[in-house]
Amino acid sequence: MYSGGFYPYKTPEEFWAYWSRYIFINRYMDAPKPVYSDLLALVKDKDYFVITTNVDHCFQKAGFDKKRLFYTQGDYGLFQCSEPCCQETFDNESLIRQMMEQQKDMRIPSELLPVCPHCGKPMTMNLRSDDRFVEDEGWHVAAARYSDFIRTHTGRVLYLELGVGYNTPVIIKYPFWRMTAQNPRATYACINYGEAVCPTEIEGRAICIDADIAKVISEIKR
């Protein structure tokens, strides 16, 4: 599905026929496994904060406290102006559902093409893919909460990194390594299928588990 998102669709009607199904499945349907709720059970009584590059809303759907979440890369559930002419985002659920229901022969009806209410240009997903990504008010509030949390938690801290690859390591992985190196009371833990590694500088305070996150989390919970 992710790869299909990069296909050069010939018309916006075909583009939205694909993307509306993509968004519906990944953003509005329930996740197929209880990984997020298992994780919540482990952290809910602790002083936690989540930073994620996921854009599928699974943390909110599982019941994580919204004030303890920072979605850095956007949300499949929001549209923004493609220009963008404003730093605003727009809920897309009802339009996405209409696109899903009314598409035929891999096209949506042209009247459902989303346009910016301010300038009339096409809308696009609120996802960070280039410098046109809109950081709306909610994004800035969450970013400030995350940096406050980092600044005020400098004692015993567990930096738990789940499934972070090398697509955008500068957002979570490298900062977690750096903060662990700088704080002798910190522990770094990484659960990653195939890429559970850390620098030698923090090896003594690192737990790297090369395994399926769902299995590990459910075993810890048990």
- What residues line the site for Zn ion (CB under 5 A)? 81, 83, 85, 116, 118-119, 121
Least distance to Zn ion, CB of residue 122, Å: 9
Closest C-alpha to 57, from 83, 24, 97 = 24
From the CA atom positions of the chain, what is the Rg in Å? 19
How far is Cα 163 from Cα 169, in angstroms, rounded to an integer? 11
Percent composition of the chain: helix, strand, coil (DSSP 3-state, to 5)? 40, 20, 40
Distance in Å, CB of 185 to Zn ion, minimum: 48
Which residues are within 8 A (CB) of 221 and not within 5 positions of it... i.e. 6 or more apart? Answer: 38, 41, 42
Which amino acid, 186? A
Question: Residue 121 or 185: which CB sits closer to Zn ion?
Answer: 121
Alpha helices in the chain (DSSP H): 12-23, 35-43, 58-62, 93-102, 137-152, 173-182, 213-221
Which lies closer to Zn ion via its Cβ, residue 28 or residue 90? 90
- Smallest separation (angstroms) from Zn ion to the CB of 86: 6
Integer CA distances (angstroms), 7 to 2, 85, 186, 216, in order: 10, 26, 43, 35
| Complex with Zn ion: residue 92 or 180, whichever CB lies closer | 92
* Closest distance of CB 116 from Zn ion, Å: 3
C-beta of 118 vs 185, nearer to Zn ion:
118
Q: Which is nearer to Zn ion, 66 or 132 (CB)?
A: 132
Least spacing, CB of residue 221 vs Zn ion, in Å: 45
For residue 187, the SS3 value is: strand
